[in-house]
Amino acid sequence: MMHPETPICNTCGEHIGFGPDGNGVFVGCHECNFPICKSCLEYEINEGHTACIQCGTPYDGNLTKVGEMEKEPVTRNTMAAHLSNSQDAGLHARNVSTVSTVDTEMTDESGNPIWKNRVESWKDKKNKKKKGGDKVAKEVQVPEDQHIEEKQQSADPNAMQPPSQIIPIPKSQITPYRIVIILRLIILGLFFHYRITNPVESSYGLWLTSVICEIWFAISWVLDQFPKWYPINRVTFTDELSARYEREGEPSELAAVDFFVSTVDPLKEPPLITANTVLSILAVDYPVEKVSCYVSDDGAAMLTFESLVETAEFARKWVPFCKKFSIEPRAPEFYFSQKIDYLKDKVQPSFVKERRAMKRDYEEYKVRVNALVAKAQKTPEEGWTMQDGTPWPGNNPRDHPGMIQVFLGHSGAHDIEGNELPRLVYVSREKRPGYQHHKKAGAENALVRVSAVLTNAPYILNLDCDHYVNNSKAVREAMCFMMDPQVGRDVCYIQFPQRFDGIDRSDRYANRNTVFFDVNMKGLDGIQGPVYVGTGCVFYRQALYGYGPQSLPTLPSPSSSSSCCCCGPKKPKKDLEEFKRDARRDDLNAAIFNLKEIESYDDYERSLLISQMSFEKTFGMSSVFIESTLMENGGLAESANPATMINEAIHVISCGYEEKTAWGKEIGWIYGSVTEDILTGFKMHCRGWRSIYCMPVRPAFKGSAPINLSDRLHQVLRWALGSVEIFLSRHCPLWYGWGGGRLKLLQRLAYINTIVYPFTSLPLVAYCTLPAICLLTGKFIIPTLSNIAAVWFLGLFLSIITTSVLEIRWSGVSIEELWRNEQFWVIGGVSAHLFAVFQGFLKMLAGVDTNFTVTAKAADDQEFGELYMIKWTTVLIPPTTLLVLNLVGVVAGFSDALNKGYEAWGPLFGKVFFAFWVILHLYPFLKGLMGRQNRTPTIVILWSVLLASVFSLVWVKIDPFVSKGDSNLTQGCIAIDC
């Protein structure tokens, strides 16, 4: 084995090794001593990179000649050829270790299975390392710190800079923030010590309920707060990216990207909104041949198909117009509707004339699309018919064949200037009765397979149909991380924040989620990366296939089993070996294909790994798709036959393709929850990948949000139900993924917070009910405060305020945004989250499924017209009941104080403050409930008043929080007075 002090290759993570004479450490660049092994250096030279990637100094001539002599043509005609060639490529071609098939493609020329040859090569490599171990031990190694100093001293100031950079939060902002968090934690401990040791005997039930709720709130705060311990900011340099990969006069070396757009119901997700998203993708500032757009129509609607036909035709005019005049944003609906000076920074005199012509063309295009929508409002009895007279295959959206149509591309129509357009592909996967189709997650996985067969770009960017590209350089921003050799090697996805149009200025229902996107996500970026939020995300395709990152952390060493005075007798050696074997097997399941640690397994474990898994069991029965998964840098195999590609693409989207495979279990978008995004990102982080949060100055993508109260609550209900489903599944972060040890503790706390927050609704409803109970009964949850107790209460109050102020300081969010987030936390908690908990348990335990309607994506013509719309939903009843109860309690409390006199006013203020805290947090709900003309659905008022009245009457009759001892004492006093 190599000596542990041997320098590590900065590209593949292996030890560098020795030079040709065997006496010294191998040096690739004598100028800056950049740590790179011989295999990686030869690979870089074969790829045409003849200069050091650190300082830009050309490599030695002799070494270049050696690289040219050893350069061999790499053929990827078949899967077997790729596997055999990948043995020499080392970690540059991420190898697959789970090969076990009898197909001819998986055997070499002599007929032996490839995996047997792989095992022999591993053994030979292991033996060579053992023979060279003694020589390594004798070498005088250069410390790594000295290498770094040499690089800093000898680096050329004119060399290329990294395309991205981390900007840490200034210590003057982050240090006080952390100190206050620790102080708040200490004050919380002292506060709970007082609360627990000072019960309120006269209202013991109220006191106990309040303490339990407060403990849960404290746990929720810890889960939310500590993942924000290491917040960071990042900046990108797209000019540096272009300098590296877009040299003048040479073909662009930027990586290809496949865009995914998902839609279901064109009547709720208007085709014009989807079309604007597609147009913004086709006009993105990126090499045309590197962009492909796949539109998934999971409703098999002919309206969506025909609107894409019109969109492809309009794109021939729109795309060259955007690129000629550098239009932002490149979604025509939002470009022509923005209220800014569109002549700013425009220098070409023809711009005004061409803009007017383009706006007229777009208006005509909108008329044609809206005519299609009007026509689709009433479905003919015989079903839809295409222009050639044949029936539309998707007339039955639940029983239809797979459909694929390529509109644009290198073989399709060019723009009006004769230039090539990006590829546009319509996809509708096969649907048959009796099959589980897994909704959006299943549609995304179908797009993964289709795109792998047709284009196989190494990166995937998925968008919802209502999220258009607002920044034409967004893909370049992501590539600044993905294509950075120092950063991108372990990155599974780049997540962009969600930004929205059409929200009222005050953001009444916290639709922007600014606190989450500008505070929580920045904190996660400093740990292992942000969570995946479902849209605006650039994936590394290999990570979706279940591969592990290039540099995986080693498995945690087993704890010592030696006996001691407090540990009991020593465990048998056999049990320890079985424990280690089970732990490693679980680790392999977390990262299916990983050769980084394969040499640490014995022959039994290795054979078990190879024999129990195969390509077909994992990826399905498609040799074309399997071959595409082996191409780390994407692209189509030379053996690909264009004539059969569409047929193969139809095959991989058949409804039975995923049966008995790992799709949705270990690879692709993960099934098992309506919030498949959280599950998918969680699985990747458990495999050792990290993610990156990218926040360009100009927002990368913008979408539309449901701004009326009912739609907003149903959206939150869906998210919360997904979290409850994950909590009740095997993927719960409380117990999943501990074996590999690759998910960092603070990252795990963040994922735990994402799945337990709906349960906060139970103590929150109870806590919001307590003020009304206290006012109606005259009891209180807090005893008379001593001086010390007053200090703890005041300290807790001040620490909460100080934490928020310091958080605002380093994150840049406003006080209003923080307050809106706090308000909707209460509104959603006592309504949508409460329903999600009960529906989640009904679904998981009783099998009662809840169907969700797709949120409408388009608003009325009048600005913020939907803000005042009220739709009947049972979710509105609990918060309305709480409002009525607390308002009644305030009135009852003041009435009681007026009857009792001056002495009753002191205790009243504490109770009224408590009630006003609830009313103030529910005020946006109350305002939305009243609607534009102060009209609330009658059924909501009736149910709420009925519940409040019944509760009050039952309370007066039972009064369970008054102890019997107090009652007897009162009666005795009355008798004595008599």
Q: Which residues are annotated as part of the binding site for Mn(2+)?
A: 440, 464
Q: Are strands 701-704 and 499-501 parallel, antiparallel or unpaired?
A: parallel
Measured CA distances, 23 to 42, 145, 366, 615 (Å): 20, 22, 73, 43
Cα-Cα-Cα-Cα dihedral sign, residues 347, 349, 352, 353: negative
- Within 13 Å of residue 623, how many CA atoms lie on the same side as its CB? 15
How far apart are the C-alpha atoms of 912 and 526, rounded to whole Å? 42
Instruction: Tell how far CA 945 is from the center of its chain.
Output: 41
Q: Which helix (H) or strand (E) holds 134?
A: helix 133-138
- Within 13 Å of residue 472, how many CA atoms lie on the same side as its CB? 22
* Buried b or exposed e, range 876-903, using 16+ CB within 10 angstroms: bbbbbbbbbbbbbbbebbeeebeeeeee
Q: Which two tokens stand for residue 784?
A: 């008379």
How far apart are the C-alpha atoms of 586 and 580, rounded to whole Å? 10
- Within 13 Å of residue 491, how many CA atoms lie on the same side as its CB? 27
Q: 3-state DSSP call for residue 831?
A: coil
How far apart are the C-alpha atoms of 348 and 632, rounded to whole Å? 43
How far apart are the C-alpha atoms of 616 and 661, rounded to whole Å? 7
How many beta carbons lie within 10 A of that of residue 226, not counting itself? 18
Rounded to the nearest 10°, the torsion over CA 261, 264, 269, 270 is: 90
The residue written with tokens 């401990």 in the block is 189
Q: Which residues are annotated as a binding site?
A: 262, 268-269, 298, 439-440, 464
C-beta of residue 466 within 8 angstroms of C-beta of residue 711: no
Q: Which two tokens stand for residue 192?
A: 């709970």
Position 505: which residue type?
R
Q: Which residues are annotated as a binding site for UDP-alpha-D-glucose?
A: 262, 268-269, 298, 439
How far apart are the C-alpha atoms of 107 and 111, rounded to whole Å? 5
Q: Which two tokens stand for residue 232?
A: 């960071």
CA angle 735, 741, 746 (to 5 degrees): 75
Helices (H) and strands (E) in the chain, counts: 35, 13
HEC per residue, 653-715: CCCCCCCCCCECCCECCCCCCCCHHHHHHHHHHHCCCEEEECCCCCCCEEEECCCCHHHHHHH
Position 653: which residue type?
I
Note the helical H segments in 376-508.
Answer: 439-454, 474-482
The helix-helix angle for 38-46 and 61-70 (nearest 10°) equals 80
Tell me which of 265, 298, 415, 490 is the catalytic residue.
Answer: 298
298 is catalytic: yes
How many beta carbons lie within 10 A of that of residue 343, not counting itself? 10
DSSP state string for 346-414: ---TTHHHHHHHHHHHHHHHHHHHHHHHHHTTS--TT--B-TTSPBPTTSSTTSB--EEEEEESTTSB-
560 — phi, psi (to 5°)? -65, 140
CA angle 387, 304, 455 (to 5 degrees): 100
How far apart are the C-alpha atoms of 322 and 361, rounded to whole Å? 14
CA angle 42, 43, 49 (to 5 degrees): 90
Beta bridge partners of 259: 293, 461
909 — phi, psi (to 5°)? -60, -40
User: Which residues participate in catalysis according to the annotation?
Assistant: 298, 677
